Structure 1
Amino acid sequence: MTESHGSDSRDHHMQDKDMPDWEKRFRAPRVSLPDWAEDAPDRSLFVSNATGTYELYAWDRSTGEQRQVTDRPNGTTDGVLTPDGAWIWWFDDKDGDEFGVWRRQRFDGGEDELAAPGLDPSYPAGLALGRDGRTAIVGRSTDEDGTTIHLARTGEPPTEIYRHRESAGVGDLSHDGRLIAIEHTEHGDAMHSALRVLRPDGTAVAELDDTKGGAEELGLEVLGFAPVDGDPRLLIGHQRRGRWEPLVWDVATGEETDLALELPGDVSAEWYPDGTGLLIAHSFEARSELFRYDLARRELVRIPTPAGSVSGATARPDGSVEYLWSSAAEPSAVRSTTGQVVLDPPGMKSPGSVPVEDVWVEGPGGRIHALVQRPAGTEGPLPTVFDIHGGPTWHDSDAFAAGPAAWVDHGYAVVRVNYRGSTGYGRAWTDALKHRVGLIELEDIAAVREWAVTSGLADPSRIVLTGGSWGGYLTLLGLGTQPDAWTVGIAAVPVADYVTAYHDEMESLKALDRTLLGGTPEEVPERFEASSPLTYVDRVQAPVYISAGVNDPRCPIRQIDNYVKRLEARSAIHEVYRYDAGHGSLVVDERIKQVRLELDFAERHLK
């Protein structure tokens, strides 16, 4: 076994011309979609990797000035502007362990201070900030208390307004600060939330629960209160027609206005700043598009965007829309319907990659959608990488991704599978995972692998199974349950020993596992055993590479160590890389090192 620790330092003065394209894609400065203060729209907050680490930046649009807000060794991405734009709240954890406190800093700069004194460190469970400049609704999650929600006012001790053992979270605070919407799973199904609206003293105003009274439990989500003072309308998402759709719920009267949009995929929405319309985001078959919905006319108008994926969008006070767009072939850019460039980070520009091809494969649970990239001008059979997405409730899309592009640059075809459990294909597809967790996804992946071989794309003797998080879990589980199918396995931050992972992980993920598997390891031991990679470790034939963050609260290090010890006991070919971060790294050098190690491992073992 080969084992290494820590992060190496790279020569930041390397000339662009000497740097391979795959590395440029990671190093090129990029920015997130800027968030903006509701009552001070010239004040914005965004995330960028400009310094080599992802950190928060303040941007005064009126002057053009940009300022780095946070500066931590392992990066910072969780930040929120107060509605008046006076303060930036950011979450301070320890080296990626996701357990910490909220701090705040003035928009113009200055010392950080504790944002909600009196609240002990915890995992975050949502945050909503009041426009009075002194009120915050802070969601917290701990192993001891489950979920608690507090009202925190400057100069006053925090007041607990909600508590429950099951997972919950802050949804939104109304424009006038009189109503608080929360999502909760008191019914025990962590995949399908119910909604409750509270007053600031914690008393309930209204309830909406689609998990009761039907053959199947349906979920709800908070999308936001109307941005109008005294307006009790709450925009929510529902699954009543088998997919995510928005509706407007009048919390005061109970009236529900169903938009009944004739769009085939999942639909989300947010308010236009004047409350007269909704910005609609439609996701379908790995692509997305935008619309404006006029509430008075009940009229849907498409907002032109290029073919590809919109990973975030926001409507500005002048009616324009800013959105973060990319495709598999073109790097991400913050665009505007005005035609202007919103944010153009200076420095090196990211090279593009090759477009994706859509493949549909008949599987045991229905048609499976896969996205395929191959080096330009090549024909199969090719060494092929099955790059499996995490989540599991997520999906791969026609969006730019530096990881798959790196494999393509090195001569591999890349296949990404939106297995059962993925979003964007209807509720039944997403909810299909229960009880046979991991095994169901791998049935779909195996069906697409069969297509890749029989179509002539993939060389069956040179197929890599890889992924991060849930994708890393499926990698290890696939190596053990389908040992003849995979030549090499590369798992990043995986679940490796499901029972130990359950006992060590953060509380909200324990709730999700109880939902997926139908109980705890003590209540349904046979299901945990059937879904755990550790159960099949002695059947693994392929060389295995594992990388893991030592501070990871989602896929903790102890359960990975248990798996590695079993590999060691049978002298299986494997390498392990541990690094000082949590569930992945926000440091560009570290990420590049990990990709380089993965590429090298595959090259050595594919011969």
Structure 2
Amino acid sequence: NDDRILFTRDQGGNEQNHLYVRELDGSERDLTPGAKLKASFAGWEPDGNAFYVSTNERDPKYFDLYRYDAKSYARTLVYQNETGRTVSAISRDGRWLALDKPNTTSDSDVYLYNVQTRETKHISQHGGTASYSAEDFDPESKRLLFATNDGGEFTRIRAYDLATGNVSDVEQADWDIAGTGYSRNGRHRISYVNEDGSIRMRVVDSASEKPVALPKTSGGEMRGAVFSPSGSLVAFYVNGDRSPNNLYVHDFRSKKTTQLTRSLSPEIDPNDLVEAEVVRFKSFDGTVIPSIFYKPKGASNANKVPAVVYVHGGPGGQTMRGYSAQIQYLVNHGYAVLGINNRGSSGYGKTFFTADDRKHGHEPLWDCVEAKTWLASLGWVDPERIGIMGGSYGGYMTLAAMAFRPEAFKVGIDIFGVSNWIRTLESIPPYWESQRKALYDEIGDPVKDKAFLTATSPLFHAANIRKPLMVIQGANDPRVIKPESDEIVEAVRKNKVEVEYVVFAE
């Protein structure tokens, strides 16, 4: 309720975030001091007199929840995590916590914790594979909204009545509902639908569930809505293919919408950038692969251009529409870019999402090779100049393409990609403990599945790589550690293959 600012910051890109406060005199104070801990802001109490913080200072594997007094910063333990159930929502009356627990990357559960009695209740019993995740408690602290794809392909919103245990449907769409939550005064509920690679924002009146008319904007999708305490104003971002986030404020009383920022550099003409389009092609086995496609200006059958297959991170990520400086830079320099959503990508249903389990380095890679075939069929893409690139899991896919399908692509750009699955899975940060078994289930156990992981790790097949490679790595990356890049670079250079290695200090 004043001008102090809470913010998080890590040290040199190590992802060991601490929570800080910027005091009224401009000084900074670390509210979560200590070495080798990770902390995050977990929300305010409605009156602003206290806030919540999650931290793994007690046990590096699990995050506990504390309540901090906003004036004195004195804290009390609210929930001690001993089982990998992570706090994902806090009721406004402070009595209830919602806990999420991943079982696999496609199966998860929700638990309800009573702060007063310290009792935990499993509220998502289910058979088969289904994802459950808590979203938000209603303003009266009577219902918990949660997302689930149990019984269907796509995620919908349901409500659990805290008093009776009854479950009811709240909202569904023909695509995944990516999230929902209430405004500060509880008058509105905001949802986001992941609609074929685009985000569609919905706002309803909380009492009636009737849609609230939103202002019409051009140039992109509305995201990140935040209502004022009174509910008469809403701030939101508009993000488009040709412009990064711009902040707007809409006044429901005057019906006036004001743009507050112009984020695109004035040195860049938006007319030089391109709009993306959603395309689909059939892979080797008939599976339809959705992708986000960027065509450079001036490309034609008479003026063939090079192309790049761009693979997202994950596994289980998704390439979506929206501004990407990296992609627009490539397109502006004459490259067609296909942001492939190979099998295993999120956003296209439960079956598609699980289609890559225990198949990394095989079917998802073959989707990327089929993407090259599709690009070459367009007529205006030069089939002899098609490369592949990606970061993290996308970097792995790049290295896998170079090692397991060395004939396919002209060049590869690996951005902090996994080269050795065994080492990566063994070096998972301790605070990933709740996801560790889920990753083992999807990718492989470094002990039990060592032979399989060796067969699908590009480092052990680097002798097959014979096309030029660029490798980009952060020296302090805690997820994909530097030896992953060091060793693949050394191994490929032994083949007398051109490798450009770029290491960033942080």
Q: Secondary structure at the match of 1:332?
A: strand
Q: Is the 8 A contact 2:246 2:263 kept in 1?
A: no
Residue among 283, 298, 311 paired with 1:377? 298
2:404 to 476, 481, 491: 481
499 and 109 in structure 1: CA distance in 2 versus 1, 3 angstrom threshold? farther
Q: TM-score, normalised by structure 2?
A: 0.87
Superposed CA deviations along residues 285-318 of structure 1, whole A, max 9, x for unmatched, are 1222222234544434564454743443334443
After superposition, the Cα gap between the structure-2 partners of 1:264 and 1:165, relative to the gap in structure 1 and judged at 3 Å, is closer
Secondary structure at 1:289's aligned position in 2? strand
**Could you tell me which of 341, 356, 380 is aligned with 1:433?**
356
Q: Deviations over 1:35-76 (max 9, x none)?
A: xxxxxxxxxxxxxxxxxxxxxxxxxxxxxxxxxxxxxxxxxx
Equivalent in 102, 127, 148 of residue 238 of structure 1: 148
Query: Does residue 184 of structure 2 align to residue 259 of structure 1?
Result: no
Q: Does the 8 A contact of 1:498 with 1:559 survive in 2?
A: no
Distance 1:462 1:524, change over 3 A: same
Cross-structure match for 1:333: 246
List per-residue Cα deviations over 1:500-554 (Å, max 9, x = no partner).
Answer: 1122232316444213125x21011133223322132111111111010111011
Distance 1:169 1:300, change over 3 A: same
Q: In 2, Cα distance between the equivalents of 1:501 and 1:146? A: 17
Provide the residue aligned with 1:273 in structure 2.
184
* Equivalent position to 1:497, from 407, 414, 420: 420
Which has the higher relative contact order, 1 or 2, with Cα contacts under 8 A spaced 6 or more apart? 1
1:521 and 1:277 map into 2 onto residues whose CA distance is 47
Question: Post-superposition shift, 1:115?
Answer: 1.4
In the TM superposition, what are the counterparts of 1:72-471 in structure 2 within 5 Å?
84=1, 87-106=4-23, 108-116=24-32, 121-124=36-39, 127-131=42-46, 135-141=50-56, 145-154=60-69, 159=77, 161-164=79-82, 166=84, 168-185=85-102, 188-200=103-115, 203-209=118-124, 212-216=125-129, 218-228=130-140, 231-240=141-150, 241-300=152-211, 303=214, 304-306=216-218, 308-316=220-228, 317-337=230-250, 338-344=256-262, 348=266, 350-352=268-270, 353-363=273-283, 364=285, 366-380=287-301, 381-471=304-394
Structure 1, residues 196-243: CA drift from partner, whole Å, max 9, x if none?
23244681353322xx54222x11222222234xx2322221112221
Describe the SS at the equivalent of 1:339.
strand
Distance 1:346 1:445 in 2: 32
- Structure 1: distance between partners of 2:57 and 2:469: 34
Matched residue SS, 2:375: helix
How many residue pairs align between the two structures? 487
- Change beyond 3 A, Cα 1:124–1:421: farther
Q: Is the 8 A contact 1:139 1:147 kept in 2?
A: no
Code of the aligned partner of 1:173: I
In 2, the alpha carbon distance for the partners of 1:213 and 1:247 equals: 14
CA drift at 1:158:
5.2
Q: CA 1:445/1:181 → structure 2, altered by over 3 Å: closer, same or farther?
A: same
CA distance, structure 1, for counterparts of residue 32 and residue 208 of structure 2? 43
Deviation at 1:374, TM superposition (A): 2.0
Q: Which amino acid aligns with 1:161?
A: Y
Is residue 441 of structure 2 the alignment partner of residue 515 of structure 1? yes
CA contact (8 A) 1:423 1:430 kept: yes
Q: Match for 2:277: what amino acid?
A: E
Stretch of structure 1 that moved more, 276-285 or 492-501: 276-285
Identify the match of residue 564 of structure 1 among 482, 489, 493: 489
Distance 1:413 1:109, change over 3 A: farther
Contact 1:91 1:101 in 2 (8 A): yes
The match for 2:505 is 580
Percent identical pairs in the alignment equals 21
Contact 1:126–1:171 (CA<8 Å) still a contact in 2?
no
On the 8 A contact 1:137/1:149 being kept in 2, the answer is no
Q: Deviations over 1:542-589 (max 9, x none)?
A: 1111010111011111222222222233332212111111xxxxxxxx
| RMSD after superposition | 2.8
Distance in 2, matches of 1:248 and 1:95, equals: 41
| Structure 1 residues 398 and 299: CA distance shift in structure 2, 3 A | same
Structure 2 residue matching 1:483: 3-state secondary structure? coil
State the distance in 2 between where 1:142 and 1:459 align: 54
> Per-residue CA shift, 1:346-368, capped at 9, x if unaligned?
97464321112332101236211
Matched residue type, 1:378: A
Flag structure 1 segments of 5+ consecutive residues without an equivalent. Answer: 1-83, 582-607
Asked whether 1:538 is paired with 2:463, we answer yes
Give the direction of change, closer, same or farther, for the CA distance of 1:94–1:331 in structure 2 (3 Å limit): closer
Aligned to 2:253: none
Shift of residue 137 of structure 1? 3.9
**2: CA distance, partners of 1:568 / 1:473:** 18
- Which consecutive segments of 4 or more residues in structure 1 shift more than 6 A? none
- In the alignment, structure 2 segments of 5+ residues that lack a partner are 251-255
Check the 8 A contact 1:161/1:202 in 2, yes or no. no
Q: Report Cα offsets for 1:242-297 as digits up to 9, x if no partner.
A: 21222222223322231243444435322133434422222211222222234544
Conservation of the 8 A alpha-carbon contact between 1:129 and 1:173: no
SS in 2 for 1:313: strand
Q: Which moved more, 1:523-532 or 1:480-489?
A: 523-532
Q: Is the 8 A contact 1:463 1:487 kept in 2?
A: yes
CA distance in 1, matches of 2:484, 2:83: 24
